[in-house]
Amino acid sequence: MTQTNVSTRAAIAAKHWEGQDVTELLARSAAVLPAISATEAGTQGRSIVFSRTEHASPINLGGGIPDPDSLPVAGLQAAINKVFETTSEPALRYGGIFGFEDLRAVVAERQGRIQGIKLSYENFLMTHGGSGGIDAVCDTFLNPGDVCIVERPHFSGSLRTIRGHLCEVVEVELGEDELFAERVEETLQRMEAEGKHAKLLYTVPDHHNPSGATMSLAVREKLVEVCARHRVFIMEDMAYTELYFDAPPPPSLYAVADGHGVIQVGSFSKIIATGLRVGWIQARLPVIESVGRVRFDMGGSPLLHRALTLYVGSGDLEPHVDMLRGIYRRKCDALVSTLREHCEPYLRFEEPAGGFFLWAECIGATAQDVAEAGAEEGLTFAAGSNFYKDREAADTSHVRLALSYASLTELEDVGPRFLRAFQRVVD
Ligand SMILES: Cc1ncc(COP(=O)(O)O)c(C=O)c1O
């Protein structure tokens, strides 16, 4: 094509398109979601509004990002090199919608061992992280207008996905653990009295994001029973399950139900690296096959799947996860003790038993004011309102502090900085 042709066509295209507001053309599923700036989203993701800070030595308690020094770079590099040396051609070709079969088998063996159940590769479909799994489950089972139950508070990323599927979201208070399943049942009964049926319940039972809470076995058993009786699918998000500090959490909802009515979503993000973008759906065969029907993206990366098969299959992941548990336990201890020492009158919280988050209630000031004053002190963290459907209308007092990314030395300085932030805003 000549240069003149290009510029003529470009001029025609510009004449018709210039000035068109693309947001007027959005699908309904995109239009219900808040706008996002591609330049500002950066590398942290998009779901959390971080307080911006100009501080010379900022401390990042914002996102659920793994400890940067723990990333197993050498192990992953060796595995990728080995793939190139041995099976480069299939690794660089499409790999199919379910993912590399050997990786599915390795994950099945590992999850079977961790959860104490029998699983085969057929129970797994590999996805782009846990969030890709959540999206694929929603694509497969949710119609616009379907009702989904979520915990209150809940992980904001999953809420975006569910809302993006034009579903009605009903929140059930997480609150005190013992009565959670009863609250779910009351909600279902109330809805059914109005002629409504919930299709799906989304839960993070272990080291919850944002609350840090872990569901007891009794509640798991009751929840499985309630959801089965009302025929509500459970989507069980296992993002933080393996990252307990001392003892593993109780058996998964999937194990309690032997997989009946439970779709589990897992990920290598928090136990290896978020940049891999490799996760999975674990479910009974008909569910996995149904998810396969609606997968349009040609599957995940065969190169990464093969490398992960070598890395995870070699057993190297087990000591790595053990090491992570120690790192996060020490980080949690450091954060808890600095907050107790410096902020006792201003912050109320329970210590998590694992995972990345400490959920704290601010006393005498709103979370938003504390977040803004915290930014002046170089602290970046999320106000709790991010984790509710109705945002500020629902919660103005909590903050979520991620303990995973900051160094131990930085964490030790969080208490004094928080204290100064509170002193700026408490009268
Ligand atoms: C509870 C929960 N689920 C899922 C995800 C998504 O993680 P990924 O898609 O990286 O596996 C996150 C990330 O923060 C999370 O906190």
Among the ranges given (49-63, 153-167, 305-319), the one the predictor scored with the smallest mean pLDDT: 49-63
Looking at the chain, which residues constitute the CATH 3.90.1150.10 domain(s)? Answer: 49-70+320-425
Decide if pLDDT at 373 tops 50. Answer: yes
Looking at the chain, which residues constitute the CATH 3.40.640.10 domain(s)? Answer: 74-315
Confidence bin at 285 (pLDDT 50/70/90): very high
Decide if pLDDT at 209 tops 60. Answer: yes
Residue with the nearest Cα to atom 12 of ligand 1? 239
**What percentage of the chain has pLDDT greater than the value 70?**
96
- pLDDT tens readout for residues 29-63: 999 998 877 665 544 444 344 445 678 899 999 99
Report, as an integer, the average pLDDT of 89-105: 97
| Ligand 1 pocket member 210 (CB < 6 A) | no
Annotation: CATH topology of 49-70+320-425? Aspartate Aminotransferase, domain 1 (3.90.1150)
Residue with the nearest Cα to atom 13 of ligand 1? 64
- pLDDT tens readout for residues 377-405: 999 999 999 999 998 888 999 999 999 99
- pLDDT tens readout for residues 286-300: 999 999 999 999 999
Place of tokens 């500090």: 245
**Alpha-carbon gap, residue 103 to 317, rounded angstroms:** 13
| Ligand 1 pocket member 136 (CB < 6 A) | no
Decide if pLDDT at 245 tops 50. Answer: yes
Confidence bin at 189 (pLDDT 50/70/90): very high
pTM: 0.95
| Ligand 1 pocket member 209 (CB < 6 A) | yes
Using the mean position of ligand 1's atoms as its centre, give its distance from the Cα of residue 239 in Å: 6
Using the mean position of ligand 1's atoms as its centre, give its distance from the Cα of residue 345 in Å: 32
What pLDDT, on the 0 to 100 scale, is given for residue 64?
94
Q: Which residues contact 393 (CB under 8 A, 6 or more apart)?
A: none
| Ligand 1 pocket member 151 (CB < 6 A) | no
Q: Is 200:149 a contact under the CB 8 Å cutoff?
A: yes
- Give the residue, 367 or 5, on which the prediction is more confident: 367
| Ligand 1 pocket member 204 (CB < 6 A) | yes
The yes/no answer on whether domain 74-315 falls in CATH 3.40.640.10 is yes
Whole-Å CA distances, 224 to 216, 218, 327: 12, 10, 33
Report, as an integer, the average pLDDT of 237-263: 98
What pLDDT, on the 0 to 100 scale, is given for residue 1?
67
For strands 357-362 and 347-349, give the pairing: antiparallel
What pLDDT, on the 0 to 100 scale, is given for residue 56?
85
